[in-house]
Amino acid sequence: MFSLCTLLRNWSRFGLNTALGLISILAISPVRAEPVAVPDTPAGRVLAAWLDAFNSGDRARIGAYQQEYDPTSSRPLDATMAFRARTGGFDLVGIHKNEPLHIEFLLKERASDTRAMGRFEVTHSDPPKLTASGFQAIPPGATFIGFEIDAVDRERVIAGSIAKLKENYVFPETAKKMGQALRLHQKRGDYDAVTDGEKFASLLRAHLQEVSHDKHLRMDFSAVRYPDNSAGLSPQQLADNRRMLDRTNCGFERAELLAGNVGYVKFNMFADPALCGETAIAAMNFLAHVDAIIFDLRDNGGGAPQMIALISTYLFDEPTHLNDIWTRKTGATQQYWTLPTVPGMRIAAAPAFVLTSPRTFSGAEEFSYNLKNLKRATIVGETTGGGAHPVRGERVDDRFVIGVPFARAINPITKTNWEGTGVEPDVKVPAADALITAQRLAAERLAGAGPAPRAGTN
């Protein structure tokens, strides 16, 4: 289930891309080359601590920072460390806005020419605690608009969002209820005091999800006006996307042989095979002679159905119907099958295991759900996030984009999907214990100790 909004939000995977649009310094002054002093305020002290810990590259120091200043963060330390390795750290090159509990700042990646804005909001406690934070890359051609919104902006965004939902949301009746809910909140005055675009987007998102319970449904704000992409991505943007994928190795972190000739592959997205097919093929061919294989999707947020089909094909020796996607607007259903051919050898007879966590989402859930219901793999870990509706970003105005789930997955076996429920593991263990558990299950299976629960027997 490819989600452009999800990809843009996920800064640990693609570099500096989240929902906060923070680049105003570019429109005000040139970037200074000399070191920039960090303000001696609660927000400034948190920023200084973050830069010191993050730039050190030391896992213990970064973990200590998170524990002291950001203890409620759900971001895994492994993801932060991977992000640090890709960026090489950051230089602070500008301060745009400085308030005691709020700071906006300009950064430059040490590993590239990428620049980005960030913002921290903190409590007045000692030590201060982060209550909100965000980063956003500054793309070529972007211009700063600002964070401030007024009543006219709020009405335009509410009306535009309702129209987009009415036209495209996968369940029309739910779309109608969401529109009614937004208008009721507006009538009650719940939005009247909100003058910050990011906070308004967060509030709308919460109100929409209260009705829909759809985790793919998003409302995102940016203080940046992006270049018009109506004619498609420019050559420069395509090149930037290519470099971004190269720097993350298309999401593939590890492909290796474990004890007992068990293959292990960890990848954190199902990238477009037109760009990343060679990487996936190389990983699967490296593991072509394993006796069992473990797919680690504990940090995989989803991606392209075409990549799901490509990787799945290596696990079957006959054409296999994987999934269907029904689109509400057209009423059309697209089927997804394994591919007729793939480069290299297939491992259709090797027992397969998929590791999951609550962070396993969207397309990663489809991969798990498909293999579970085909009885081709044993799912090990925790229940997944529960997002089965493909989403498309719809621009409401220059600063607001609503991510509208426009279709739904229909599994050919269950005739339903995992929306709202997630994929239940066959073997439930804490996500941190999933790998060692899968290794034990694989060893038992290969030793003839009996099949693992619900595993395939191809």
Domain boundaries of the chain, sorted by first residue: 24-137, 151-225, 250-398+407-446
Q: Which of 96-105, 165-174, 311-320, 369-378 has the lowest mean pLDDT?
A: 96-105
In the structure, what pLDDT confidence band is assigned to residue 233 with cuts at 50, 70 and 90? low
Residues paired with 108 in a beta bridge: 91, 115
Look at residue 428 and tell me whether its pLDDT is greater than 80. yes
Q: pLDDT per residue over 392-412, tens digit each? A: 999 999 889 999 999 999 999
At residue 220, the pLDDT reads 92
Whole-angstrom CA distances from 396 to 284, 381, 389, 406 are 41, 39, 20, 16
Other beta carbons within 10 Å of 186 = 16
The number of residues in the chain equals 458
At residue 231, the pLDDT reads 56
Mean per-residue pLDDT of the chain: 87
Largest Cα–Cα distance in the chain? Answer: 69
In the structure, what pLDDT confidence band is assigned to residue 34 with cuts at 50, 70 and 90? low
Q: Report helix angle 197-212 to 172-187, nearest 10.
A: 130
Contacts within 8 Å (CB) and 24+ apart, 74-78: 75/12, 76/299, 76/359, 78/299
CATH fold, domain 24-137, is: Nuclear Transport Factor 2; Chain: A, (3.10.450)
At residue 377, the pLDDT reads 98
Look at residue 23 and tell me whether its pLDDT is greater than 70. no
At residue 135, the pLDDT reads 82
Dist CA 19 CA 393 (whole Å): 13
CA angle 179, 184, 188 (to 5 degrees): 150
At residue 26, the pLDDT reads 31
Dist CA 22 CA 10 (whole Å): 16
- Asked if residues 119 and 4 have their Cβ atoms less than 8 Å apart, the reply is no
End-to-end CA distance of the chain: give it in Å, rounded. 26
**CATH of the domain spanning 250-398+407-446, picked from 1.10.10.10, 3.90.226.10, 2.40.50.90, 3.30.930.10:** 3.90.226.10
Look at residue 171 and tell me whether its pLDDT is greater than 50. yes
Dist CA 446 CA 264 (whole Å): 15
What is the secondary structure of 333-388 as a DSSP string? EEEEE--S--SS---TTS-EEEEE-TT--THHHHHHHHHHHTT-EEEEES------
Does the pTM exceed 0.85? no
Q: pLDDT per residue over 252-293, tens digit each? A: 999 999 999 999 999 999 999 999 999 999 999 999 999 999
Q: pLDDT per residue over 130-147, tens digit each? A: 998 888 777 766 766 778
- Asked if residues 439 and 394 have their Cβ atoms less than 8 Å apart, the reply is no
